[in-house]
Amino acid sequence: MRRGWKMALSGGLRCCRRVLSWVPVLVIVLVVLWSYYAYVFELCLVTVLSPAEKVIYLILYHAIFVFFAWTYWKSIFTLPQQPNQKFHLSYTDKERYENEERPEVQKQMLVDMAKKLPVYTRTGSGAVRFCDRCHLIKPDRCHHCSVCAMCVLKMDHHCPWVNNCIGFSNYKFFLQFLAYSVLYCLYIATTVFSYFIKYWRGELPSVRSKFHVLFLLFVACMFFVSLVILFGYHCWLVSRNKTTLEAFCTPVFTSGPEKNGFNLGFIKNIQQVFGDNKKFWLIPIGSSPGDGHSFPMRSMNESQNPLLANEEPWEDNEDDNRDYPEGSSSLAVETET
């Protein structure tokens, strides 16, 4: 009886957590809907008097708004990609691993299994990266998200504002969402500013639209500052071909820690996220190369370009055999929400 109550309570808490996880998304959606009403109706249709100015403002606004909403939708509803079946332990291997009591033998078993897989990263102690929750050998750049309760390919962080784990399958969409969010806020702020001045000087009548316009400028500027910092940080990560987790915890390879292990050069680093075809770079359509299980590495390109070898190695890393809780960084390591 007591066990049944505990299970029911645990299920209820999980349900409440799932519901509450949508609160940040709901807040963003409500702010965006209000900004749409304030800009389109209170500014363009009520405050702006010139018909030509109304048309120009509305056309440009809706062009930006469509891409902003589209990329936000894709960031939210593109599911994180998990490792395929060949990285999972077979039933027999799982039984052998769990029944083995000697840690050194368990480690050797994982080493033998990893030899058959394209896995080149290790834990800080040099062991094979193994997830004891999902029972799989982690592919390179894969991490376990404690909130999503799964291993995510090329995991960057878990973002509460999209209620989703950002990784290989949707990192491009997330970057585009940040870019169009910055553009959205900048466009609103620049077009509203002149009318803000007019209301401030009393050149326009003090009507209901005044408060929408004034608050619209304030909200746009506030979000612009925070978003441009976050977007700039992720642009830096892309330029170095790093994830947020790799920026805070240097990846360890079979040869040792290397902070630039995946750095292929500026152009190739961008192509690793957006693909080779530039016409898809601004459109939220999947174009990232590969399958998310393996990635080209710096060491494999040094023979072709010796200049890649001229950077300094990083200091030793901590053990990588862990998952990453939500909120482990103030920027984008809203990790594992």
Report, as residue numbers or ranges, the catalytic residues: 159
Structure tokens at 325: 């809780």
Task: Yes or no: say if 165 and 244 are a contact pair by the CB < 8 Å rule.
Answer: no
284-79-168 Cα angle (round to 5): 65
Can you tell me the distance from the alpha carbon of 90 to that of 289, in angstroms, rounded to the nearest whole number? 28
**The one-letter amino acid at 14:** R
Question: What is the distance of C-alpha 329 from the center of its chain?
Answer: 13
Q: List the one residue out of 180, 187, 189 whose CA is nearest residue 218.
A: 189
Scanning the chain, the segments in alpha helix (DSSP H) are 2-20, 23-37, 51-77, 91-99, 103-114, 171-201, 208-240, 244-248, 266-274, 298-301
Can you tell me the distance from the alpha carbon of 196 to that of 215, in angstroms, rounded to the nearest whole number? 9
DSSP H or E segment with residue 337: none
Task: Yes or no: say if 321 and 129 are a contact pair by the CB < 8 Å rule.
Answer: yes
